[in-house]
């Protein structure tokens, strides 16, 4: 960090130096970037922070933004991403959208044309306020060098407070090249929002009257301590616990209270349990479209269940659902407040909670599959070999249902999955996890289409010697869309298949190793080899899973979806 003179006079620094000094002051340990001439002073300033801030040079801005977003999920601090103006910003926008819908703290810095050229549609000029306004918590442009500390302090605060999310700051060239004598801004301690005692008393009273309660956890901002506190609360009240869509890291799924992953594609028994529950305690989750399965098992605006909704943003409370008890608190503040809450008698629903856990365990039983490779068993094998250690990442696609159903996630940092359903996320997220926790395994599940959206980031794994394991599900098509196509236009498949490269050869070009697996008996030896190679050589490993394309999801076949759709159409035609 640039030192201030001992006499008390302020050092004269350029904008890049001031900005990077502020990042260090606020605790940034890593920045993800694709270099651009528009913010060269910031790149140069990193020289003075080699001992504290690690720059990760990415291959494309979407990969950089995804890595920063994953960093925000893993640490609770803003993931920092630098990109150049115009094309760089547009490429990075997918990471900003992911951070917004996933409520992840993130700061995207975008180079901008100088103020002397602005509003002329100069080279690569974009109005970032208009571009990012709907997908960020705050978008601003720093037009004065001496105000950089103020903007960085505010950006950090906005990204991490209330419902966390992304901030975008545009950096005009004259701001970064300009100089100023300005004091650093000290970071503020993070604030937590706590429930009031009357709300806790009412929560206890509602639990005392309930017959079929259910605790649903989700959202962001969790700490290991908060997760432990919420688990102790659930144990005292013998509550069945579910996790919201793709928030699998919010609760240790080896816990005997765990009832399942709530959202699209969930088990029918779990769905019915949610419909029938008479008290739903939703903590940290918005109860969005994916978690609610299209606002079906919980209806808007009046839920059939008695709803206790705990959320850090008061504007979200009542936005979609009218809660019987709305509590404006973040997950840390709420969890800390539950310590004194004790049941006055033995909970009446203990047997139902045990049954919910048994039903969850039953969903992990592998189902028959066509061909010689059963993907259910692949998920179970990964679960067995990881044994609660490491991080599993996914992007988007039906293949993600296999780890989500068959891997038991163990809490904070064990899962990185975009709730926004963005493709190409898994590989950059696995890289970010391995950078943050080099001693833990990082396993990326990726569809063949999803993987190819950001496969160039294997170069980051090579450059920084990161031993990640990538499982590529190769069925030669956009599988999720194909399933929808068969439901809506059965037997009319078109424009959804593609020819894949030799994935194992591709990973070798990036210094790693690869294997093809086509039979059940080869899965465990290949996974053991991959995990050992990744740990020993600190290089990427890829396992290409080749399987019957009819095998589209756990317990589902494309041919069955098509046949059901054709039968429905025939029935409708006959009725007409």
Q: Which run of H or of E encompasses 43?
A: helix 40-45
- The total of other beta-carbon atoms located within 10 Å of residue 188's CB is 12
Residues 479 and 552: their CA atoms lie apart, in Å, by 7
Predicted confidence at residue 131, as pLDDT, reads 85
Domain with CATH 3.40.50.970 in the chain: 12-181, 365-563
The per-residue pLDDT for range 158-211, each reduced to its tens digit, is 999 999 999 999 999 999 999 999 999 999 888 899 999 999 999 999 999 999
Residues 549 and 557: their CA atoms lie apart, in Å, by 9
DSSP string of 156-214, one letter each residue = HHHHHSSS--EEEEEEEHHHHH-EEE-PPPPPPPPP-----HHHHHHHHHHHHH-SSEE
Question: What CATH superfamily classification does 365-563 receive?
Answer: Thiamin diphosphate (ThDP)-binding fold, Pyr/PP domains (3.40.50.970)
CATH number of 12-181: 3.40.50.970
**Average pLDDT over every residue of 547-574:** 91
Mean pLDDT for the chain overall: 94
Q: Which two tokens stand for residue 180?
A: 């100023």
Predicted confidence at residue 444, as pLDDT, reads 98
Greatest extent of the chain over all pairs of C-alpha atoms, in Å: 91
pLDDT value at 153 more than 50: yes
The per-residue pLDDT for range 500-520, each reduced to its tens digit, is 999 999 999 999 999 999 999
Domain with CATH 3.40.50.1220 in the chain: 197-362
Residue range 197-362 in CATH 3.30.390.50: no
Predicted confidence at residue 129, as pLDDT, reads 85
The per-residue pLDDT for range 125-136, each reduced to its tens digit, is 678 888 899 999
- Between 268-276 and 350-363, two packed helices, what is the crossing angle to 10 degrees? 150
Query: Is 473:450 a contact under the CB 8 Å cutoff?
Result: no
pLDDT value at 70 more than 50: yes
The residue whose two tokens read 């959208």 is: 97
Predicted confidence at residue 508, as pLDDT, reads 97
**Average pLDDT over every residue of 332-339:** 97
The per-residue pLDDT for range 214-265, each reduced to its tens digit, is 999 999 999 999 999 999 999 999 999 999 999 999 999 999 999 999 999 8
Predicted confidence at residue 544, as pLDDT, reads 98
Residues 6+ apart with CB under 8 A from 144: 175
Per-residue pLDDT band at 7 (split at 50, 70, 90): very low
Of the listed ranges 63-67, 158-162, 425-429, 565-569, the least confidently predicted one is: 565-569
């Amino acid at each position: 960090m640039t030192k201030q003179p001992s006499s008390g006079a302020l050092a004269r620094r350029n904008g890049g130096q001031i900005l990077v000094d502020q990042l260090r002051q606020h605790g940034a340990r890593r920045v993800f970037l694709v270099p651009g001439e528009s913010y060269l002073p910031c790149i140069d300033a990193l020289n003075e922070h080699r001992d504290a801030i690690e720059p990760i040079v990415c291959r494309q801005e979407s990969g950089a933004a995804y890595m920063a977003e994953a960093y925000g999920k893993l640490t609770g601090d803003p993931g920092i991403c630098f990109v150049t103006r115009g094309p760089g910003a547009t490429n990075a926008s997918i990471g900003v959208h992911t951070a917004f819908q996933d409520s992840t703290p993130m700061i995207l810095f975008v180079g901008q044309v100088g103020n002397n050229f602005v509003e002329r549609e100069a080279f690569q000029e974009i109005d970032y306020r208009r571009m990012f306004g709907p997908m960020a918590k705050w978008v601003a442009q720093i037009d004065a060098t001496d105000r950089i500390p103020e903007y960085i302090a505010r950006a950090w605060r906005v990204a991490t407070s209330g419902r966390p999310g992304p901030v975008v700051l545009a950096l005009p060239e004259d701001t970064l090249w300009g100089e100023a004598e300005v004091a650093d801004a000290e970071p503020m301690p993070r604030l937590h929002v706590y429930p009031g005692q009357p709300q806790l008393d009412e929560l206890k009273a509602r639990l005392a009257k309930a017959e079929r309660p259910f605790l649903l956890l989700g959202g962001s901002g969790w700490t290991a301590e908060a997760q432990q506190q919420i688990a102790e609360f659930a144990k005292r009240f013998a509550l069945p616990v579910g996790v919201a869509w793709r928030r699998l890291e919010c609760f240790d799924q080896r816990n005997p209270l765990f009832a399942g992953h709530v959202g699209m594609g969930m088990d029918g028994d779990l769905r019915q349990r949610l419909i029938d529950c008479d008290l739903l305690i939703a903590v940290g989750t918005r109860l969005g479209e994916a978690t609610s399965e299209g606002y079906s098992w919980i209806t808007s605006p009046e839920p059939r269940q008695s709803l206790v909704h705990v959320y850090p943003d008061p504007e979200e409370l009542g936005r979609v659902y009218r809660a019987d008890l709305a509590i404006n608190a973040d997950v840390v503040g709420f969890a800390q407040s539950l310590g004194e809450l004790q049941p006055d008698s033995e909970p009446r629903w203990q047997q139902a909670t045990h049954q919910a856990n048994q039903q969850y365990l039953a969903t992990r039983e592998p189902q028959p599959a066509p061909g010689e490779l059963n993907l259910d068993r692949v998920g179970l094998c990964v679960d067995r070999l990881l044994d609660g250690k490491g991080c599993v990442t996914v992007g988007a696609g039906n293949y993600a249902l296999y780890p989500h159903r068959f891997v038991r996630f163990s809490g904070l940092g064990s899962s990185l999955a975009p709730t926004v359903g963005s493709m190409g996320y898994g590989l950059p997220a696995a890289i970010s996890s391995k950078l943050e926790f080099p001693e833990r395994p990082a396993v990326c599940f990726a569809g063949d289409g999803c993987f190819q959206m950001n496969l160039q980031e294997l170069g980051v794994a090579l450059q920084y010697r990161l031993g990640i394991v990538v499982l590529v599900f190769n069925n030669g098509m956009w599988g999720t869309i194909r399933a929808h196509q068969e439901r809506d236009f059965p037997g009319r498949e078109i424009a959804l298949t593609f020819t894949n490269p030799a994935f194992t050869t591709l990973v070798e070009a990036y210094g790693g190793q690869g294997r093809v697996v086509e039979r059940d008996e080869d899965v465990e030896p290949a996974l053991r080899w991959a995990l050992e190679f990744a740990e020993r050589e600190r290089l990427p490993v890829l396992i290409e899973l080749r399987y019957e394309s009819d095998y589209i999801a756990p317990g589902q076949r494309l041919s069955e979806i098509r046949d059901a759709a054709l039968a429905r159409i025939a029935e409708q035609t006959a009725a007409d």
